[in-house]
A and B are shown apart, each in its own frame.
Chain A
Amino acid sequence: DVKVTQSSRYLVKRTGEKVFLECVQDMDHENMFWYRQDPGLGLRLIYFSYDVKMKEKGDIPEGYSVSREKKERFSLILESASTNQTSMYLCASTESVLGRMSEQYFGPGTRLTVT
């Protein structure tokens, strides 16, 4: 059974703290993604990665950075958390198949509250 896991389901941090959200997949997928989900705004792509040590900005990268040192792990970093980063964060992965778009497999999400 394919699995994407995220380090925490719920997280509460203070403004200005550095926050790490971890995501691990066990499917040997090349592609990994970080989204944030807010009511009425759907899923918005923050960053994605096509390979180890490779990353590309998504639609809303400001205030975030990422790290992918190993194929199975993709970390999202909030350098200095702010209250407007309170949100649900979703990690996803997908295999890379030439000429075909694969579906994404999602983790359970991390609900981050910044106070």
Chain B
Amino acid sequence: AQKVTQAQTEISVVEKEDVTLDCVYETRDTTYYLFWYKQPPSGELVFLIRRNSFDEQNEISGRYSWNFQKSTSSFNFTITASQVVDSAVYFCALNEVTNAGKSTFGDGTTLTVKP
């Protein structure tokens, strides 16, 4: 069975600090996809990134970067120079190709960025 663990329930940082959100997953499949979503206080989840199991390249998008390591089953998300607008709940999710498109979500990490 697939499982996603986000061990950090809440993180609080001061603006301009860097912060890393951890995501550890479990799967028996060799083909799977990992996602990060952001849920701001307004409530609507927004897609941030998708990674498939065959692509271990790290990715950077502005202040956001993602580190995918199959050896440790981790897909961590780093925000550089955090801003107040980054305050949100962040979810990591896993889709196994054999599980017919269903996503398993972690419990989420609530990030608070203080001015």
Contacts and interface: CB of A to CB of B under 8 A. Distances in A.
Interface of A: 31, 33, 35, 40-43, 45, 48, 50, 56, 58, 88, 90, 92, 94, 96, 99-109
A104 B47 contact: yes
Given A40-B107, A42-B106, A90 B45 contact: yes
B43 A109 contact: yes
B50 interface: yes
7 contacts: A41-B107, A48-B101, A101-B97, A104-B35, A104-B47, A105-B47, A108-B44
A42 B35 contact: no
A48 B44 contact: no
Interface residues of B, number: 23
Contacts of A33: 102-103
Lowest 6 CB-CB distances: which A-B pairs, in order?
A101-B33, A42-B107, A103-B47, A106-B45, A43-B105, A101-B95
Nearest to A44: B105
Contacts of A100: 33, 52
Contacts of B91: 42-43
A43 B37 CA distance: 12
A35 B106 CA distance: 13
Interface in B14-71: 33, 35, 37, 42-47, 50, 52
A45 B44 contact: no
B108 A108 contact: no
Interface in B63-115: 91, 95, 97, 100-103, 105-108
Nearest to B47: A103
A103 B44 contact: no
Contacts of B47: 103-105
